[in-house]
Chains A and B, each alone.
Chain A
Amino acid sequence: MATAVQHYTSYKARPFTREQRDTTTILFGGLTWKHERLVQGVFNNLNYKAKPLPNITRADLDAGKELIDVGACCPTIFTTGSLVNFLKTEVAENGKQKTIDDYVFLTAGACGPCRFGQYHESYEMALDGMGLKDFRLFLLAQDQLDQAPEKGGGLEINMPLSLGIVWAILCGDMLTDMEYQTRPYEVNPGDTDRVMKESADYLFEVFQKRPIHGKKWGLLAWHFLSSYFADALRVVKKKFDAIEVDRLQVKPKIKITGEFWLQTHEGDGNYNIKHWLEQEGSEVMPPPVAVWLGYLLHTPIWRLQKKAVVDRKVKFKMAMVRGMERLYVGTYNRFRKALGNVPYALPDQEELKKLASPFFHYELRGGEGHMLVGKALHAHLHKQANMTCELSPYSCMPNTMSQGAMANVQGRYPELLYAPIEIKGDAEVHALSRCQMILTEAKKRAQSEFVEAMARTGMTIEKAREIEAKRPELKKATYRIPHLGYASTAANYVMHLAGAKAAAV
């Protein structure tokens, strides 16, 4: 029998051994620079060398398109291109072998059948195309905190690493919420960005010096119970205290939703749309990564409910999941409290499900599932935002489905301002002009809210300035403005100054 044919086999990473840890840098990416900086601290804390990939640029789109199969969604193209461009630079500067030896790339996996779970196929194809098939690429399943030791033991995906990353994400969300609630109103331009940089550097140190108490359950308990991170966030609060803001500027509040990578990203990958919205005179409500983690934590409850007829241990399992969920939300709220409760609370997953149910089944998986519908309705009905801007990658599979279902939502709620923006990466003018059309209406609504609040309370700008002069804490970035029935900050601020009760929603 002949044996000459070598059947195709997919990419298999070479081992990354424990001995190679000191000389090998773990590359990662996919979040904001703040989150990535803190995650870097977690890696360093566990004696790994780690480095986030440079922020995404337009050039990454071109590099990605060159090397992967046609028809990929833009997050796949951008993230592949980002890795490609980094490696190209390294190869040019240090040579192929040194690049292969000095770096490994860690990427998230899972997400069921959506292409997100298959990004690594694109990375592998790109590595093959670059002649770097020996470069090492590892998958981090986002729904497993403790995985079997990865090949070679160089990278251990265990509780200390996974918990560190989750806590870094929560703290990153806190910083992001503070940033986007402060910058639009800062009196001295640049203050927020400066404080953000200082805060991220400070928290980086905090994560780098995180004490490791126990290996598994002890460590888990320490993360939930220790005041280590909350204390650090109190230090961050003091930094933000120094920023003076003027919340009498009327700005529409724009909630960002969409595909996970695109909504989280800050840069060319989504036309820098959050920054652009701020430049256009808006306040942006950024999407916390914690909502996604909360969704992952909550969905087993729904699955278990279905299994109730065939699984006797369901009640116990559900109690366990609910307990973990309470601890998770409790930790998030503790962090919020450390920052004066300025960051937004997490939405209740059951409420998102209930709101989305008539339009999109909550068990449909892939991407953000029913949450896109739920979040848009949540923001609208609770008057959290004047407009929802949904960022959808071109050819994103799950996102297009929930976006289609939004036609039904809009039929039922015609007053909901919804801007679905398709992002291809290379059609910026088209996307932004589409967003601007709806933003015009959002601005009008914010202005109407402000006028209404002034009329209801009899407040004037002069009176407001007098109150501010008497109570300087009002002008601090960390002063929490209660939600008094309006979406825009200025209207709520006027109500608050006047001591008015919540407007009828």
Chain B
Amino acid sequence: MQTWFGKKASAGSPPPSPRKDRSGIRVGIPKVLNVWSTSQFWVGFLRDLGIESENIVFSSDTSEEQGREFGKGRGTVDCCYPVKSISGHYGELIFGQKKKINIILSPMIYSLPSFMRGHVSETLACTRVMAGPENIKAGFMKESDVFADNGIKYASPFLSMAEPDVVPKQMYDCLKDVLDVDYAEIEHAVEAGYRELRAFNKRMRDASREIMAWCARENKPCVLVLGRPYHMDPGIGHEIESDLQAHGYPIVWLQYLPIDDDLLNWIFGEEVQAKKIRSPLDISDVWTSSNSSNTNEILWGAKFAARFPWITCVLRLSSYECGMDQPTYTPTQKIVEAAGTLFFKFGDLDSTKPAGSIRIRIETIVHYLAKYSDKIIQKKLALLPADCPLLAEKEKTLVAAASNQP
């Protein structure tokens, strides 16, 4: 889904000149946690500073082998697997590269540029996610400084990515010496990073809309994955959704659901008018403490799935010992199931893929999808206005007729 390399220099205002030659610097980024939802920012940011695309190195997908080979003995505490697995990513960037890395860039992302910002109290990262780099770093420094021993500079900027106006200073404080940059360069690069991220998110949302429009036109069901961004990592989410996709069901991820006004007004417009919610992205009707960015998005995704007719099934993914997910288990299930949408949770995901049990559950899900999808679509369609923006005029008439049936 994501591309893990830079494509081309970002558009926008020209970089401050003269720019120092950084074409020979190789930057390694552990592909973990919220890097899964901000990777394109990093690509845009680094390229704008003159780092070559091929020198922006993301670690591989998480795997047990990676952990065994590169992370063994580096763990300092028992916690959720998405954080624990970072040791393997650090180790791979230090010891597993044919061409040596010069800098490891492992951001401590404090807040996220979520599409829900302004509609919720806060868009903060999970406490473990934001502090993960400090925890993992300790495992590489407790006996000696493994980074320095291998000639690598370790940089871990603390970033409030939800507040773009403070990010340049936060970046500059951390990277001024590491990359030998001035403030103007950083400011320009941050801008380029956000631009790249926005463009990528737009492309992904458009792609999801296309899938959903196809489902609407063909009256076919699709499946929504409710998980955190890192569940896209095959080693964390275990590609459960791919197993379901192999049965012919299109998959969409909540992170890239379309948020176009026409669609959101169709789904949530009546509730906004009735003042049950303040806006289509408001979740105060289902969740009081809307501080955590990914939790907020999960709850909103659940609301979306509960109402959008062609999402007939929700796959909930959750990692072992996820403290952010824990209080949401029951609310999300209740939200999704209120209008009959199918809900299946894969919880306590850890390093090992339980392939056998996943296969059995996928067969069960496929059975239910085949049996109930049509009824679910009809039931949810009947709850919404007839003018679905995803349908051409001709289809709209057909749907209107269907929704008037008893």
Contacts and interface: CB of A to CB of B under 8 A. Distances in A.
Contacts of B285: 7, 9-10
Interface string A273-312: 0000000000000000000000000000000001101100
A70 B137 CA distance: 30
A69 B135 CA distance: 27
Contacts of A408: 76, 137-138, 141-142
Contact of B291 (A5, A73, A112, A363): A112
Nearest to B299: A10
B211 interface: no
Interface string B6-47: 000000000000000000000000000000000000000000
A92 to B, nearest CB: 26
Interface string B95-131: 0000000000000101000000000001011111011
A72 B326 contact: yes
A366 interface: yes
Contacts of B160: 306
A218 B383 CA distance: 55
B128 A1 contact: no
A1 B324 contact: no
Interface residues of A, number: 55
Nearest to B326: A71
Contact of B127 (A9, A112, A410): A112
Interface stretch (A149-157, A229-237, A395-403): A395-403
Contacts of B65: none
Contact of B338 (A7, A122, A364, A409): A7
Contacts of B141: 408, 411
A306 B124 contact: no
Contact count band on B: 35 or more
B143 interface: yes
Interface stretch (B164-172, B222-230, B255-263, B367-375): B164-172
Contacts, number: 185
Contacts of B325: 71
Contacts of B286: 8-10
25 contacts: A1-B383, A3-B383, A5-B339, A7-B307, A8-B331, A8-B338, A9-B285, A69-B326, A70-B329, A112-B124, A113-B122, A113-B125, A117-B289, A121-B288, A121-B289, A306-B166, A306-B170, A309-B166, A359-B134, A360-B131, A361-B108, A366-B127, A400-B77, A404-B76, A404-B77
Interface of A: 1-3, 5-11, 69-73, 109, 112-115, 117-118, 120-122, 125, 139, 306-307, 309-310, 359-361, 363-367, 395-398, 400-411
Interface of B: 76-79, 83, 108, 110, 122, 124-128, 130-132, 134-139, 141-143, 156, 158, 160, 165-166, 169-170, 285-289, 291-293, 295, 303, 306-307, 321-331, 334-335, 338-340, 379, 382-386, 403
The 4 closest A-B pairs by CB, nearest first: A366-B127, A404-B135, A408-B138, A411-B142
